[in-house]
């Protein structure tokens, strides 16, 4: 656990979230040991329900399959502690089973977006260097091509039966032993240092970075969820949630582990389909929804909502981007939910590090610092810590902070502080508010879109002289990536031509959903930095372009 220095202890502007629960490690020597114990304890209770097929999987089923898979990975594929194994798939039953198996072995699970293009896959596989890659049918060809291109000799395991090559089902059938729980004991690990998950987080400099999340990071979040469920469960025999968040994303994947290891039943769907989502709520009567602002807007405004009974929902948790007070009020009045809890976090903080924990939450606030964590707001020029109601960069320290980026272990400063690049402030009661972003990432739905990556691609087009990309606010999805293009001399280029050129090379969330606008010159500072604020003003008034 990160501690404050003597100087920091004397700084009244450093916010202390208070101590973690005394048993927050749950008496575990490794995350794998904790998973074994919790799955065993839940037994025949239903853990997952596929919202489209209605198929179910119990905690005992996860336990049996994950132990069998772990033995195959260890004995047949040679997976050992600290080895990297990647998952490139949509949400499906095999996903949590694979993660559990890897945790028993002390391996690292690298979670990749199944919609990555070949170029993005090459980068991520080259960065994480997995020895084994689990793939879904839709991704297998792209993954195999990427491995060949960068000469990474990873073993491919196919989740879908009928695929050419080793399948997940064959791994289970060929494991060669019927395991009893006592025959598999995960090795003890250094919880603070041992990496459990690698998630990909886009940065302002371009392609995704590999965020290393430790076993202690994950275990800390489990404690928070246990405390939350104690408050929310009341007379419920088992808490139920409906979730559409993708599990390769930190907000989806770590939340999924939290629900599973705290005994919840999770109804999941691979992607957001309005009527399927609403029918799952109607049919399975969840107590809780895990959402992002675009889904919250859908619940607040879409007329389809009135066709379904959503009265079971008592709590909505919303993260990934701020939720406006207007949308929050609409949801409260329409669904009659008792609690809407906003939170703030990022891949680098494992999950939410600021969260609304009270029933009566302040509109617009993202809550207070979680137990065991520290926060400060610093002047962006001097680095001086600031007091209440002063805007500055948010910085955090504690058991939720990542180990570092792959290849960049010094991403955390020497005192253990993570600089977020987000601007905010806290009030006299230590409620935090997000104001703006120092970093230039565009938020599309729950995804981060780096302008620098898109600009580099646009500049590779022979008809483009200069380019800049900004996010244009959109209530439904957050921001739309919008490009400003200066055409090359004496050529004719159309916005449609540029949109197709870029969209063919990037994932869906990185596409130019805001379109292309032609301009005579990109506004820049004397040092050549793009004046994105000027472009945002231009975007408000097309006549000035």
3-state secondary structure 125-155: HHHHCCCEEEECCCCHHHHHHHHHHHCCCCE
One domain, residues 447 and 432: no
What's residue 543's pLDDT? Answer: 40
pLDDT at 309 over 70: yes
Range of the domain at 518: 442-540
Distance, first Cα to last Cα, the chain = 53
Reduced to 3 DSSP states, what percent helix, strand and coil does the chain have, rounded to the nearest 5?
35, 25, 40
Q: Looking at residue 282, which CATH number applies to its domain?
A: 3.40.50.12780
pLDDT at 243 over 60: yes
pLDDT at 202 over 70: no
Average pLDDT score over residue span 417-422: 90
Question: What average pLDDT is seen over the chain?
Answer: 88
One domain, residues 359 and 424: yes
pLDDT at 361 over 90: no
Which of 401, 422, 437 is at the close of a domain? 437
One domain, residues 300 and 382: yes
One domain, residues 324 and 348: yes
Q: Return all residues near 168 (Cβ < 8 A) that are at least 6 apart.
A: 69, 94, 98, 134, 157, 158, 159
The three-state (H, E, C) secondary structure of 32-73, written as one string: HHHHHHHHHHHCCCEEEEECCCCCEEEHHHHHHHHHHHHHHH
Residue at 352 is within a domain: yes
Residue at 33 is within a domain: no
Q: Return all residues near 526 (Cβ < 8 A) that are at least 6 apart.
A: none
One domain, residues 315 and 356: yes
pLDDT at 374 over 60: yes
pLDDT at 432 over 90: yes
One domain, residues 395 and 430: yes
pLDDT at 455 over 90: no
What's residue 358's pLDDT? Answer: 65
Q: Looking at residue 67, which CATH number applies to its domain?
A: 3.40.50.980
- Judge contact between 206 and 213, C-beta under 8 A: no
- The number of folded domains in the chain is 3
Q: How many residues does the chain have?
A: 545
One domain, residues 417 and 457: no
Average pLDDT score over residue span 445-462: 84
What is the side-by-side strand order in the sheet with 392-398? 15-16, 373-378, 392-398, 418-426, 432-437
Report residue 544's pLDDT band, with 50, 70 and 90 as the boundaries.
very low
Report the candidate in 195, 185, 169, 183 with the shortest Cα–Cα distance to residue 35: 185
What's residue 298's pLDDT? Answer: 86
Q: What is the CA radius of gyration of the chain?
A: 23
Tell me: the pLDDT tens digits for 394-416? 999 999 999 999 987 667 888 88
Average pLDDT score over residue span 217-237: 82
**Range of 155-169, 286-300, 527-541 with top mean pLDDT:** 155-169
One domain, residues 368 and 513: no
One domain, residues 426 and 449: no
Which of 192, 214, 236 is at the close of a domain? 214
What's residue 2's pLDDT? Answer: 45
Report the candidate in 142, 83, 137, 113 with the shortest Cα–Cα distance to residue 207: 113
What's residue 525's pLDDT? Answer: 65
Report residue 119's pLDDT band, with 50, 70 and 90 as the boundaries.
confident
More confident: 59 or 162: 59
Distance CA 501, CA 460 (A): 10
Distance CA 536, CA 206 (A): 21
Tell me the longest C-alpha to C-alpha distance in the chain: 75
What's residue 230's pLDDT? Answer: 79
What's residue 181's pLDDT? Answer: 53
What's residue 342's pLDDT? Answer: 83
One domain, residues 100 and 202: yes
Which of 419, 437, 455 is at the close of a domain? 437
Residue with tokens 């949590």: 96
For residue 195, the tally of other CB atoms under 10 A from its CB is: 24
């Amino acid at each position: 656990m990160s501690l404050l220095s003597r100087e920091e202890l004397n700084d009244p502007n450093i916010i202390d979230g208070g101590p973690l629960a005394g048993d927050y490690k749950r008496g575990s020597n490794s995350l794998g040991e904790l998973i074994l114990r919790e799955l065993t304890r839940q037994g025949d209770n239903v853990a997952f329900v596929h919202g489209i097929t209605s198929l179910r999987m119990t905690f005992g089923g996860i336990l049996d399959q994950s132990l069998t898979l772990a033995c195959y990975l260890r004995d047949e594929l040679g997976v050992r502690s600290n080895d990297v194994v990647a998952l490139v798939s949509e949400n499906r039953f095999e996903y949590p089973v694979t993660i559990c198996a890897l945790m028993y072995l002390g391996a690292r699970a690298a979670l990749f977006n199944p919609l990555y293009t070949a170029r993005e896959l090459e980068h991520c596989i080259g960065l994480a260097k997995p020895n084994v890659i689990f793939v879904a049918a839709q991704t297998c060809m792209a993954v195999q091509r990427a491995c060949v291109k960068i000469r990474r000799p990873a073993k491919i395991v196919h989740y879908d039966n009928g695929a050419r090559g080793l399948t997940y089902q064959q791994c289970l059938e060929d494991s060669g032993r019927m395991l009893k729980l006592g025959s598999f004991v995960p090795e003890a690990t250094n919880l603070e240092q041992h990496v459990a998950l690698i998630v990909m987080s886009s940065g302002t400099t371009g392609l995704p970075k590999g965020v290393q999340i430790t076993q202690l990071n994950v275990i800390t979040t489990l404690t928070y969820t246990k405390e939350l469920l104690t408050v929310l469960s009341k007379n419920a025999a088992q808490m139920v949630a409906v979730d559409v968040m993708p599990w390769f994303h930190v907000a989806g994947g770590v939340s999924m582990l939290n629900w599973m290891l705290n005994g919840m039943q999770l109804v999941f769907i691979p992607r957001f389909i309005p009527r399927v989502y609403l029918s799952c709520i109607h049919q399975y009567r969840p107590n809780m929804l895990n959402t992002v602002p675009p889904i919250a807007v859908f619940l607040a405004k879409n007329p389809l909502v009135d066709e379904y009974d959503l009265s079971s929902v008592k709590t909505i948790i919303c993260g990934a981007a701020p939720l406006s007070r207007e949308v929050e009020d609409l949801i409260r009045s329409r669904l009659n939910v008792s609690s809407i809890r906003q939170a703030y976090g990022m891949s680098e903080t494992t999950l939410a590090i600021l969260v609304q924990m009270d029933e009566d939450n302040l509109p617009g606030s993202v809550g207070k610092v979680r137990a065991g964590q520290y926060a400060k707001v610093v002047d962006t020029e001097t680095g001086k810590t600031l007091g209440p109601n002063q805007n500055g960069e948010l910085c955090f320290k504690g058991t939720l902070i990542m180990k570092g980026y792959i290849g960049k272990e010094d991403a955390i400063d020497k005192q253990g502080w993570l600089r977020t690049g987000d601007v905010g402030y806290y009030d006299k009661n230590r409620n935090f508010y997000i104001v703006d972003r120092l970093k230039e990432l565009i938020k599309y739905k729950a995804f981060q879109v780096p302008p620098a990556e898109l600009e580099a691609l646009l500049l590779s087009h022979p008809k483009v002289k200069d380019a800049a990309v900004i996010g244009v606010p959109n209530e439904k999805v957050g921001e739309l990536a919008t490009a400003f293009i200066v055409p090359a001399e004496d050529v004719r280029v159309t916005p449609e031509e540029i949109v197709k050129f870029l969209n063919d090379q990037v994932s869906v969330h990185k596409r130019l959903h805001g379109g292309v606008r032609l301009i005579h010159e990109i506004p820049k500072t004397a040092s050549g930095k793009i004046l994105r604020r000027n472009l945002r003003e231009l975007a408000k008034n097309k006549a000035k372009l």
